[in-house]
Amino acid sequence: MGSSKATTGRRLVLDILTECDRPGAKSGDIIKAALDKHDYLDQRDKAFIRRLSEGCIERAITLDHVIDQFASTKTSKMKAPVRLIMRMGAYQLLYMDNVPDAAACNECVSLAAGKGFSGLKGFVNGVLRNISRNKADIKWPDKEKDIKGYLSVRYSMPLWITGLLCSEYGAERAENMLASYQKERDISINLLKGDKAGLIAAWEKDGIKVTQSPYLDNALLLANVPGVGRLAGFAEGDFIVQDVSSMLAVKAAGIRQGDTIVDLCAAPGGKSLYAAALCGPEGRVFSYDLSWNKTDKIRENAERLGFDNITVAEHDAIVFDPELKEKADVVIADLPCSGLGVMGRKADIRYRLKEEDIASLSQLQRDILKNAAEYVKPGGTLLYSTCTVSREENEDNRQWFLDNFDYDSLAFDEKLPEIFKDSTAKEGYLQLVCGEPGELPLMDGFFISVYRRRK
């Protein structure tokens, strides 16, 4: 980036971070909207803007810890624009080797002046240059004496989350999970139709790195993607973006040709679309979610893929629908949850979520499962899944369901890849953890459980 372009890019990052700083903001949507609006920028500039924006959000706790060591005014006391500018500078100094330290400092000084903080130019410059000179001497919490505090600061995670993960998984697995969230992820796609070899050749010709997923033949991992919508096969409806963990959940349900499937909380629609491919033209998928904003994307993708065996409608899953009673061969209940398993892709979850939310979400899941249990035909299958890793939302709710409804746990190890043959899938449930197995590509943390209704 030249100087003027650099300033323009960093101004856009500051605008993005300001939007993301608002309560309830979803950073992924804000960053995408900003980059779509500035689509005229070249790919390198957009990559810089995305990386700096996402990095400042993901590592906010870490950055504040570092800044507070060198600033006379703590980040919690700074004006919001100044705090965000300081994070931008610290992130570039600590994590972006391709940005010269002097440039990172100077651009932040310019940003501060441009935002009306000319009187703080010396402060901004002094703190950032002090960080630059003392990177090797930054102090971190003592890992041996305060493992939860150490994990919180090193992996930029609220203390209550590091405490929960340490309690339920042990410190070593918790740290491995947190470290995996900070690793770069390829885009995971589910190839539902089309010429696989031809598509791979076309993508590779465009400079995209393609890796076959070791889990499923229809799962491919793509890197260096300028935009999914620009990929060969997208407009033709050959694939959808879907994490492998989500694909495995659908596989676990054992959907057959001709089945009727009800997907209760379907947005953004990946499971409904995969189910539609598996049940074939003789089958039927009823795909529901709470609002038109959520269901519209499902309709758009169903049309793009040419699936006419999906019915999409707005429906509140906690409201019992008598028309769905005993209608489904398979009910997919992928329910609202804390999202602790997808923080590698949605970094701002950690800041939006509160500890008390776990209990209320667990109860919401139970309220929906009461209805879901009624929608399955006798002898049919219920899939209960979440994209989280908390026991209260997963194993505890699984046991509650078995204790209170006329269902049996259904083994699904035979429906999954060989690596899961000796797992708890034999007992009807499986907790996937991001970063495990360590030698294989990353996937989301996900809970899968399957049940058969007694006849």
pLDDT for 168-206, tens place per residue? 999 999 999 999 999 989 999 999 998 999 999 999 999
Alpha-carbon span 145 to 163, nearest angstrom = 14
Distance from chain centroid for Cα 75: 27
The third-level CATH classification (topology) of the domain covering 244-453 is Rossmann fold (3.40.50)
Report the candidate in 217, 215, 196, 192 with the shortest Cα–Cα distance to residue 280: 192
Contact 398, 384 (CB under 8 A): yes
The whole-number pLDDT of residue 42 equals 87
The whole-number pLDDT of residue 40 equals 87
Report residue 23's pLDDT band, with 50, 70 and 90 as the boundaries.
confident
Task: Please write down the HEC assignment for all residues of 108-138.
Answer: HHHHHHHCCCHHHHHHHHHHHHHHHHCHHHC
The whole-number pLDDT of residue 41 equals 87
The whole-number pLDDT of residue 2 equals 42
Alpha-carbon span 163 to 448, nearest angstrom = 24
pLDDT digits (tens, 9 = 90+) for 102-120: 999 999 999 999 999 999 9
pLDDT digits (tens, 9 = 90+) for 330-362: 999 999 999 999 999 998 999 999 999 999 999
* Percentage of residues in the chain having pLDDT higher than 90: 89
Beta strands in 3-145 (DSSP E): none
Q: Up-side HSE of residue 183: CA atoms within 13 Å toward CB? A: 16
* Average confidence (pLDDT) over 437-444: 91
Contact 252, 383 (CB under 8 A): yes
Alpha-carbon span 332 to 362, nearest angstrom = 17
The CATH H-level superfamily of 3-137 is NusB-like (1.10.940.10)
Contact 248, 448 (CB under 8 A): yes
Burial classification of residue 97, based on how many CB atoms lie within 10 Å of its CB (0-12 exposed, 13-18 middle, 19 or more buried): exposed
Alpha-carbon span 19 to 37, nearest angstrom = 15
* Average confidence (pLDDT) over 135-163: 96
pLDDT digits (tens, 9 = 90+) for 215-244: 999 999 999 998 899 899 999 999 999 999
Please state, rounded to an integer, the average pLDDT across all residues of the chain: 94
Report residue 382's pLDDT band, with 50, 70 and 90 as the boundaries.
very high
Distance from chain centroid for Cα 345: 4
Q: Up-side HSE of residue 118: CA atoms within 13 Å toward CB? A: 2
The residue with greater pLDDT, 56 or 439, is: 56
* Percentage of residues in the chain having pLDDT higher than 70: 98
The CATH H-level superfamily of 187-241 is Sun protein; domain 3 (3.30.70.1170)
pLDDT digits (tens, 9 = 90+) for 260-319: 999 999 999 999 999 999 999 999 999 999 999 899 999 999 999 999 999 999 999 999
* Average confidence (pLDDT) over 427-439: 94
Alpha-carbon span 394 to 388, nearest angstrom = 8
The whole-number pLDDT of residue 4 equals 46
Residue 36 has pLDDT above 70, yes or no: yes
Residue 6 has pLDDT above 70, yes or no: no
Report residue 406's pLDDT band, with 50, 70 and 90 as the boundaries.
very high
Residue 64 is encoded by which pair of tokens? 């504040």
Whole-Å CA distances, 352 to 47, 165, 176: 25, 17, 23
Domains in the chain: boundaries: 3-137, 147-181, 187-241, 244-453
Residue 5 has pLDDT above 60, yes or no: no
The whole-number pLDDT of residue 1 equals 44
**Global pTM?**
0.93
Beta strands in 195-299 (DSSP E): 209-212, 219-223, 239-241, 260-263, 284-289
